[in-house]
Amino acid sequence: MSNRYTPKESNEWLRTTMLKLSIKSLDELSGITKIDRGSLSRYFNQERRPSIDAIPPLCEALEITSDELLIVLGAKSRNEG
């Protein structure tokens, strides 16, 4: 088993976290973070890594640290954090 999140795991994590935070859609998350919906989708499908400027608003909106975000996005191994 890989130590990195798969795209499916990233999406499941995002859905669960958004539900806990009462964020109803990627459109709503986009409004909160000022990151377009397409970019958010690509980040959590692991098709693209977020720019350094995208990390703080994502962390704030999802109430996680930058290390946690990088792990969830598959950019960092789970045991590195």
CATH code of 68's domain? 1.10.260.40
| pLDDT digit string, tens, across residues 20-43 | 999 999 999 999 999 999 999 999
Express each pLDDT in 38-79 by its tens digit. Answer: 999 999 999 999 999 999 999 999 999 999 999 999 999 988
Query: Six-digit token pair at 10?
Result: 């990233």
* Structure letter (DSSP) for residue 2: -
Domain assignment of residue 55, yes or no: yes
Residue 66, domain extent = 7-74
Residue 35 in any domain: the answer is yes
C-alpha of 40 from chain center: 7
**pTM of structure:** 0.89
Identify whether 31 is part of a domain.
Answer: yes
Q: Is residue 1 part of a domain?
A: no
Three-state secondary structure call for residue 35: coil
Q: Is residue 22 part of a domain?
A: yes
